[in-house]
Amino acid sequence: MIADTSLIDMINAKLEQDDVELPVFDVVAQRVYDAVQKDDFSADEMCALLEQDPALTSEVLRVANSSFYKGLGEVTQLQDAVVRLGAKHIASLAMAVSQKRIYSASSQRYKRRLTRLWGHSSAAAFGCRWLARKAGYLDIADQAFVAGLLHDVGKVSLLRIVEDLESESEDLDFSDPVIDMTLRELYCEHGAKLLELWNIPEVFRDVIRHQCDPVLDDGNVTLMIVRLVDMACAREGISDFPDPSVCLETSAEAQALGLNEIQLAELQVVLEDSAGLT
Q: Given this model, what pLDDT does residue 278 score?
A: 53
pTM for the model: 0.86
What gap in Å lies between CA 198 and CA 191, rounded to an integer?
A: 11
Q: Is the pLDDT of residue 149 over 50?
A: yes
Q: What is the pLDDT of residue 1?
A: 40
178 residue type, one letter: V
Q: Where are the domains of the chain?
A: 25-102, 104-278
Please state, in angstroms and rounded to a whole number, the distance separating the CA atoms of residues 137 and 101.
29
Return the C-alpha torsion angle 221, 153, 94, 90, nearest 10: -10
pLDDT digits (tens, 9 = 90+) for 44-66: 888 998 999 888 898 889 888 88
pLDDT digits (tens, 9 = 90+) for 70-87: 667 888 889 999 899 888
How far is Cα 264 from Cα 248, in angstroms, rounded to an integer?
A: 7
User: Collapsing DSSP states into helix, strand and coil, what is residue 253?
Assistant: helix
Those residues with Cβ within 8 angstroms of residue 60's Cβ, 6 or more apart along the chain or in another chain: 50, 78, 81, 82, 85, 90, 93
Contacts of 122 (CB under 8 A, 6+ apart): 96, 100, 149, 274, 275, 277, 278
Give the fold, CATH level 3, of 104-278.
Hypothetical protein af1432 (1.10.3210)
